[in-house]
Amino acid sequence: MDPAIDHILGLQAVREKAHIVFDLAKQGLLNHFDYHPDRLDEAVEYVIGVIQRDFGPDRFHEIPPHGRWQHFEVGNVPRIDRLITKWDAAGYDDLEKVRSLLDLFFVSVLLDAGAGDRWRFTEQGTGNVYTRSEGIAVASLYMFLDGDFAGEKGRKDVVSGEALKNITVKTLYKGFQIDEGNPLVGAGARVEILQRLGQSLLDNKDIFGPTGRPGLLVDHLRRNGGNELDYALLWSTLQKLLIPIWPSDRTKIAGTPVGDAWPLSVLAKAESAPSEPAETASIQPFHKLTQWLAYSLKVPFERLLSTTWANAELGTGLPEYRNGGLFVDMGVLTLKPNALEKGLKTSGGALPCFGAGDDEIVEWRAMTVALLDELHKRILDSGKFGNVELTLPQVLEAGSWKGGREIAAQKRPETKCSPILNSGDGTLF
């Protein structure tokens, strides 16, 4: 692969480019946002307060990393623990349980890129109603248990490439209880993602076996590492699998798609690294959904196989509307007047709206990645968590993502939505 493309697909470029944008922000050179460093201390204290409230004074070591597992526990129901108990009774060893959890987490995460403000899922048996990421988690779990991702023969609670390749919009509508009164943003696009995932799994039989089972990623990684696995290998494997599944209208470099990576005009104001070619100098990569999947997949390895990870620090903060919304709602970032006017004209409402690939959104996302690093650093420097050195994924889980959701609910109780809207298709955020 072209080294420039390989760099854009890697994790280091996500952080490096975002911090170039951050440096420009400190000079007042952003195109669409103003950065207010005097507001960052208050944002840091707010996030610290959320973490202390929920895990203080002596449970900071219990904070889970940001990932899918805890979404399945919404309503204080240990759904994954119950599933593991069921698999224990069926005689599955720990390796097979991890394979099975990876099956579930793959489809569940890739179905979850923002549900919109109106969609609801009503859990049968309890009547409990769940929304957003937790609702998608529970809905996808029931589809998994019902065999919607498995094919026609054998186990129901397994995933096969062939079943995903042939999944229909009708199946998703039924599983997610979608109708005119209960719409899910980008439902059709989500199905297309699963269909292309199925084909990609089948195209990579050397990793995922003849049936294209996502859970066989366990065996691939362990062949190369035993109980200490390489996060960089996990990442490169996921990129190989997932780059072909994203919508075809995304950014390409020399005809090669590069996924969740976008042209960003403000990068033209920066001095490019001497070794960086012109065609990638203005590209800001994020790979958000793949990063969230990688964070999520790590957890079953750690909890069931006591796996440790080399190079885990390569992962970045996730540039999505909860983390990004935190910095806007706290006044750390404000839209410049022209950008605000444009966004309000697009939305026709009280909140600005932009397309998911618009320069305003890409600049916001780049600043979110860098500000999450700064937030993490200041939290570690605060000395308020004893001898527990919180990782970035823990800060995302217990602090920035949760804090962003809570402040959104306080400021916009009717919708609990982001302070900046995007017209995404359900495959990005």
- The pTM (predicted TM-score) of the whole model is 0.95
- What's the pLDDT at 429? 62
Phi, psi of 285 (to 5 degrees): -85, 155
* pLDDT > 70? residue 298: yes
DSSP bridge partners of 130: 121
pLDDT at 152 (0 to 100): 76
- pLDDT of res. 326: 98
DSSP string, 122-141: EPTTT--EE-HHHHHHHHHH
pLDDT of 71 higher than 80: yes
Please say if the pLDDT value at position 125 is more than 60.
yes
Measured from the Cβ of residue 248, the count of other Cβ atoms closer than 10 Å reads: 8
Residue whose C-alpha is closest to residue 257's, from 272, 242, 271, 243: 243
What are the pLDDT digits (tens) for 355-403? 999 999 999 999 999 999 999 999 999 999 989 999 999 999 999 999 9
Assign 171 a pLDDT band (cuts: 50, 70, 90). very high
214-246: per-residue pLDDT in tens? 999 999 999 977 789 999 999 999 999 999 999
Which runs of E-coded beta strand occur in 101-174?
121-122, 129-130
- pLDDT band, very low/low/confident/very high, at 55 (cuts 50, 70, 90): very high
Q: What is the pLDDT of residue 427?
A: 67
Domain ranges of the chain: 3-422
Q: Indicate the helix (H) or strand (E) that contains 229.
A: strand 228-230
Contact 33, 335 (CB under 8 A): yes
Q: How far apart are CA 256 and CA 244, in angstroms?
A: 10
Q: Give the residue carrying structure tokens 């995460």.
A: 109
**What average pLDDT is seen over the chain?**
94
Q: How far apart are CA 386 and CA 201, in angstroms?
A: 44
Contact by Cβ (8 Å): 325, 331: no
- Model confidence at 273: pLDDT above 60: no
